[in-house]
């Protein structure tokens, strides 16, 4: 080494300062990107997220009861259309949270978008009791039909469903679709 120990120490400090500056710049850019993506999610929820259904009625007093809920499948489908190229909804978790992933500039990851829509439909239509046991799951045909409503061609939805089976994200048994061990990934 030609440089003295004090010179190398100064060089180390200078590089550390550079790292701190670049890290702060990266964090600021990432915060802006996150805010813009959150705007896309917010718009999708505002425009497509509400699902209202009549859940009960009283014949005696003319009272109707409605349930409003977040239609996660519709939100994910809307996001697949509105996200900038290169971004995809990569995961929809059991708690309704979702992950948006950068896949590369100028890429439109159509297959992964279709996967996200299928997973959202399955999550939306899977009923779990208070003990965490699955009590009801959607039929394969109902998942494919709903995917078609969101613009996923049935043939593509079928092949993407087969892919999700291979990845142990879902299981198709006796015409019904069950979440599998890798269904919800954080």
Residue 101 to residue 87: CA distance in whole angstroms: 6
Domain membership flag for residue 74: yes
Domain membership flag for residue 57: yes
For residue 41, what are the CA distances in angstroms to 33, 34, 46, 75, 78? 12, 10, 9, 8, 9
Condensed to tens digits (0 to 9), the pLDDT of residues 43-98 reads 998 888 888 888 898 888 889 999 888 888 899 999 988 999 889 888 776 677 88
Domain membership flag for residue 185: no
Domain membership flag for residue 85: yes
Residue 40's domain comprises 5-179
Q: Look up residue 123 and give its two tokens.
A: 């999550």
Mean pLDDT of 6-32: 95
Backbone angles phi, psi at 92, to 5 degrees: -125, 115
Secondary structure class of 58 (helix, strand, coil):
coil
Condensed to tens digits (0 to 9), the pLDDT of residues 108-140 reads 678 888 988 999 899 889 998 889 889 999 999
Q: Would you state the pLDDT for residue 37? A: 95
Look over the chain and give the mean of its residue pLDDT values, rounded to a whole number.
89
- Predicted structure pTM score: 0.75
């Amino acid at each position: 080494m030609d440089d003295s120990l004090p010179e190398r120490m100064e060089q180390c400090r200078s590089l550390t300062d550079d790292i701190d500056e670049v890290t702060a710049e990266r964090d600021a850019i990432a915060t802006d990107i996150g805010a813009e993506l959150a705007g896309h999610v917010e718009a999708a929820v505002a425009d497509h997220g509400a699902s209202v259904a009549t859940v009960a009625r009283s014949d005696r007093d003319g009272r109707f009861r409605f349930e409003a809920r977040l239609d996660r499948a519709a939100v994910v489908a809307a996001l697949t259309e509105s996200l900038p190229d290169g971004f995809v909804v990569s995961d929809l978790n059991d708690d309704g949270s979702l992950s948006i992933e950068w896949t590369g500039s100028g890429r439109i990851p159509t297959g992964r978008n279709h996967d996200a829509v299928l997973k959202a439909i399955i999550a939306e239509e899977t009923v779990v009791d208070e003990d965490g046991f699955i009590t009801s799951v959607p039929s394969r045909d109902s998942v494919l039909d709903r995917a078609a409503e969101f613009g996923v061609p049935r043939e593509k939805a079928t092949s993407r469903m087969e892919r999700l089976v291979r990845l142990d994200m879902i299981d198709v048994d006796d015409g019904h679709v069950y979440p599998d061990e890798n269904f919800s990934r954080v």
